Chain A
Amino acid sequence: MLDRRRFIITLAAGAAGLLLPKGKLASFPQQSGEAKDPPAGAPPKAGKASLAVVRGADPGLATRKAIELIGGMGAFVSRGDVVLVKPNIGWDRTMEQAATTNPFVVSALVAMALEAGAKKVIVADNPCNDARRTYVRSGIGEAAKEAGAEIPFMESRHFVKTNLGGEVLKDWLAYRGALDADKIINVPIAKHHGLGGLTLSMKNLMGVVGGARNLMHQRLSESVVDLTAFFKPALSVLDAVRILKANGPQGGSMKDVEKLDTVAASADPIAIDAFGITLFGKKPEDYPMIALGEKRGLGTGDFRGAGFVEVKLG
């Protein structure tokens, strides 16, 4: 029953999308929520994508569309859940500098989680610069508050020693709010990172732990996979409204910022990161964290398989 209802709703939404004024780019199919034609042999998932990429000028609307395409927030958040929305609030930078998550993406997720019946939505991060500054300058503190979330600072006494059970990360200080939350919505921003890499959704989970995080860089791919395996975010939303193409993860110069007006969402963090890698013109197979994540059963790096949808909002 539910499948049919969802199918009809997404079909109606897609039809509405078709009625919106068309954009310039014809390369993106103006699609409904139907999945693209899957490789032969795999049955199409009716009305529900596994990774949705939405391009649109309004980040909030793009976020809503992306979530809707992968099944709606109700598929991830249950009534009465305590939800942690975990954006990147790591750096003392403004939204335009693309070092922190777009506040409109965050507020849309908060609103959707509350609409889906969450008892409480918390937005927090353990930043690299002073938290009082990053929460304000990124715009996320205010946006999240307006959307109805609680925005605590991660105070040091609220970190508890936890066995992460990872390949390289064993006992580590983890934020109590992340451990206690029913669902974690991981919402990173796509950025270049000095260690020859990119920082996407798996690395974003460094913000729910404390301790000597500066040691993780010695085995960064293994560390971020360990974090993902432990915290198992219910939903990963990649903010690519603006991406930082060089001098990351902090940036600071506007010439390193590229505006893509894109938001991607999936329950599969490996797929999200694999997609994010392609935004920088790179190949997922060149990044060890993708293969490691796959090996640990966290998802698939082959995001263009069944269930991949790209939509452009007019």
Chain B
Amino acid sequence: MKNLRRTSQVLIFLFFVYLFIQTEYKGRNELGLPVRLFLDFDPLIALSSLMASHAVRTVFLLSLITVGLTVFLGRFFCGWVCPLGTIHSAISYFRMRTLKPNRSEGRLPALRPVKYYILVFILVAALFRWNAAGFLDPISLTIRSLAIGYNPAINKMIRAALDAGASLDIPALSPALDALHTKMTGTVLAFEQPMFQQALLIGLIFTVILGLNLIAPRFWCRYLCPLGALLGLIGWKQVAARVENNRDKCISCRKCVVACQGDATPFPPGEWASRECLVCYNCREVCPASAISIRPTARRTGEGNVDLGRRWLLASGVGALLVVPAVASGIQRKRTDPLLIRPPGALAEREFLRRCVKCGECMKVCLTNGLHPTLAQAGFEGLWTPLLVPKLGYCEYNCNLCSQVCPTGAIRSVTVEEKQKIHIGLAFVDKNRCLPYAFGRNCIVCEEHCPTPEKAIVFVEEEAVDAQGAKIILKKPVVKPELCIGCGICENKCPVLDRPAIYVTAVNESRAEENRLFLEF
């Protein structure tokens, strides 16, 4: 059974990695299966989004499958499915092999309630319509950290290695490495080297979480994971696979305790904690006396479940009640940030923040690498939600990939035709920097790249004399606000690289009545 479990972990993890790599433009407008599939089955995401947005989405039904199975199988998701769990498993496995087990046998049972307090905080926040699940939900955390931190770094390392080999000019090997680089580009490697703002921070946080395994195996899963806490509560009966330690056969060797992935105390007999059990089957496998059985039964086989401490639960609830209004009421900010250019299809800001789980999928899939995580632009409650940075990547006119991958409908599903009519911002010409206005030279790059069929940038012509003394017609760009959709390609291609002479700000975005600029066009 343990081998079956390991196989399940590996296969599902490989599937996760495959979907992750597939969450990218591959040549067709419709994505196949993006990695949001994992989020669709996640009950914490569904519950938090449901409570915060008051909107029922059909896709939430998929998470009921997870819930249903958990009722019978306990935290099988943690032991057999969760990709972050598999990563922790793998690291812990190597840790156990290389480091001597410490005296506490890698257990910190006093920390077991912490994940429940985190869960309570998330649920109270959702009650007050702040969707905070995405920060610490394991699926969202993993996708975001991999997409923004690890994937760019891994891409960079592989490319650097291939390029180094290719530049050495070793006959046969160097051209082969160059060809390999080309083959891997767009398949396993990203099409272009991705980069993200806050990549270092987000990658570092994930690394620290992984590093916790050095303190205790599967530290995150045992003591911090709010999804694990939720599943533990749902699956506490675990009737299909209850662990029982036969006290007549038990020889008190404590091998099961050391092997237990979840800190579920299979020893002493009668102390098994179903809410902590990850259904890994290690205990039964390792017991030399065959004292441990795991089978369907209705009997209570262990009383080890942590008493959640009503006092602490109350404290965490009250804490949430105090923190959430301060964070989520927008008391810091009355006017919208000009840089908060949201992806086309994004709901109005309040609704958007009630749904966005900061999973980073839209940022990963954006084919120009234009979407990046916010820091302060959307307030603390909007931390790590997506915004467009035109200097880094513009919004491709015929693309709607971000609206395809969003798991909660924060970016609602739009067709390409609908998307092309959505204004996400407005371009402004800085006449102090624009070449024809400031230097009397023609440029026109912005107009050239403007994708709207009737161009949103037109020229005002003026006769002038160029640097060589010849008579020229200066073409000075002017933005037509009724046509400009704020895609940002003008800013992206403007040759005034450091501070573009034409730039987009969020004002006049279609989704926001409060950000409207013109009374009429």
- A245-259 interface mask toward B, CB cutoff 8 Å, 1 = contact, 0 = none? 001011111001000
- For residue B156, CB closer than 8 A to chain A, the reply is no
- B375-399 interface mask toward A, CB cutoff 8 Å, 1 = contact, 0 = none? 0000000000000000000001111
- A258 and B439 CA atoms in complex are apart in Å by 37
Determine the residue in chain B with the shortest Cβ distance to A197: B444
Residues in A neighbouring B26, C-beta threshold 8 A: 132
Determine the residue in chain A with the shortest Cβ distance to B472: A196
Residues in A neighbouring B396, C-beta threshold 8 A: 92, 129-130, 133
- For residue B191, CB closer than 8 A to chain A, the reply is yes
Residues in B neighbouring A129, C-beta threshold 8 A: 396-397
- A200-240 interface mask toward B, CB cutoff 8 Å, 1 = contact, 0 = none? 00000000000010110110100000000000000000000
**Minimum C-beta distance from B106 to chain A (A):** 46
Residues in A neighbouring B186, C-beta threshold 8 A: 132, 153
Residues in A neighbouring B454, C-beta threshold 8 A: 247, 253
- For residue A193, CB closer than 8 A to chain B, the reply is yes
Between-chain CB contacts (< 8 Å), 10 pairs = A92-B396, A133-B396, A136-B27, A155-B185, A215-B495, A217-B443, A217-B444, A247-B453, A252-B453, A253-B454
Residues in B neighbouring A157, C-beta threshold 8 A: 163, 181
Count A-B pairs with CB separation below 8 Å.
Answer: 80
**Minimum C-beta distance from A191 to chain B (A):** 11
Most buried by B among A128, A156, A218, A251: A218
- A196 and B444 CA atoms in complex are apart in Å by 10
Most buried by B among A247, A250, A253, A256: A250
Task: Tell me if B448 and A249 are in contact (CB < 8 A).
Answer: yes
- For residue B336, CB closer than 8 A to chain A, the reply is no
Contacting B435 at CB < 8 Å: which of A133, A152, A218, A251? Answer: A218
Residues in A neighbouring B495, C-beta threshold 8 A: 212, 214-215
Residues in B neighbouring A253, C-beta threshold 8 A: 453-454
Residues in A neighbouring B398, C-beta threshold 8 A: 92, 133, 137
Task: Tell me if A251 and B453 are in contact (CB < 8 A).
Answer: yes
- A67 and B388 CA atoms in complex are apart in Å by 48
Residues in A neighbouring B368, C-beta threshold 8 A: 130
Task: Tell me if A195 and B397 are in contact (CB < 8 A).
Answer: no
- A143 and B146 CA atoms in complex are apart in Å by 37
9 additional contacts, CB 8 Å, given A132-B25, A132-B191? Answer: A133-B399, A136-B27, A155-B181, A155-B185, A195-B444, A195-B448, A247-B455, A252-B451, A253-B454
Tell whether A155 pairs with B447 under 8 Å between CB atoms, given A194-B475, A196-B473: no
- A137-150 interface mask toward B, CB cutoff 8 Å, 1 = contact, 0 = none? 10000000000000
Contacting A130 at CB < 8 Å: which of B25, B441, B452? Answer: B25
Task: Tell me if A196 and B475 are in contact (CB < 8 A).
Answer: yes
Residues in B neighbouring A252, C-beta threshold 8 A: 451-453
**Minimum C-beta distance from A117 to chain B (A):** 24
Task: Tell me if B443 and A250 are in contact (CB < 8 A).
Answer: no
Contacting A92 at CB < 8 Å: which of B191, B397, B448, B452? Answer: B397
- For residue B442, CB closer than 8 A to chain A, the reply is yes
Task: Tell me if A217 and B453 are in contact (CB < 8 A).
Answer: no
Residues of B437-479 whose CB lies within 8 A of A:
441-445, 447-455, 459, 473, 475
Tell me how many residues of B have a C-beta within 8 Å of chain A: 38
- For residue B7, CB closer than 8 A to chain A, the reply is no
- For residue B182, CB closer than 8 A to chain A, the reply is yes
**Minimum C-beta distance from B25 to chain A (A):** 6
Contacting A218 at CB < 8 Å: which of B399, B441, B449? Answer: B441
Residues in B neighbouring A250, C-beta threshold 8 A: 448-451
- For residue B493, CB closer than 8 A to chain A, the reply is yes
Which range contains the number of A residues in contact with the other chain?
A: 20 to 34
- A220 and B182 CA atoms in complex are apart in Å by 33
**Minimum C-beta distance from A211 to chain B (A):** 11
Residues in A neighbouring B444, C-beta threshold 8 A: 194-195, 217
- For residue B494, CB closer than 8 A to chain A, the reply is yes
Residues in A neighbouring B229, C-beta threshold 8 A: none
Contacting A195 at CB < 8 Å: which of B449, B451, B452, B475? Answer: B475
Residues in A neighbouring B455, C-beta threshold 8 A: 247
Determine the residue in chain B with the shortest Cβ distance to A288: B470
Residues in B neighbouring A152, C-beta threshold 8 A: 182
Task: Tell me if B367 and A130 are in contact (CB < 8 A).
Answer: yes
Residues in B neighbouring A215, C-beta threshold 8 A: 495
Determine the residue in chain A with the shortest Cβ distance to B457: A194
- A153 and B468 CA atoms in complex are apart in Å by 38
- A152-174 interface mask toward B, CB cutoff 8 Å, 1 = contact, 0 = none? 11011100000000000000000
Q: Which 5 A-B pairs have the closest CB atoms?
A: A252-B453, A253-B453, A214-B445, A214-B495, A194-B447
**Minimum C-beta distance from B264 to chain A (A):** 48
Residues of A105-132 whose CB lies within 8 A of B:
128-130, 132
- A130 and B435 CA atoms in complex are apart in Å by 26
Residues in A neighbouring B475, C-beta threshold 8 A: 194-196
- A92 and B475 CA atoms in complex are apart in Å by 25
Residues in B neighbouring A247, C-beta threshold 8 A: 453-455
Determine the residue in chain A with the shortest Cβ distance to B191: A132
Most buried by A among B185, B368, B442: B442
Residues in B neighbouring A156, C-beta threshold 8 A: 192
- A157 and B189 CA atoms in complex are apart in Å by 15
Residues in A neighbouring B442, C-beta threshold 8 A: 195, 217-218, 220
Residues in B neighbouring A133, C-beta threshold 8 A: 25, 367, 396, 398-399
Residues in B neighbouring A132, C-beta threshold 8 A: 25-27, 186, 191, 367
- A215 and B448 CA atoms in complex are apart in Å by 13
Most buried by A among B26, B181, B182, B448: B448
**Minimum C-beta distance from B404 to chain A (A):** 15
Determine the residue in chain B with the shortest Cβ distance to A137: B398
- A199 and B325 CA atoms in complex are apart in Å by 58
- A212 and B399 CA atoms in complex are apart in Å by 25
- A260 and B455 CA atoms in complex are apart in Å by 24
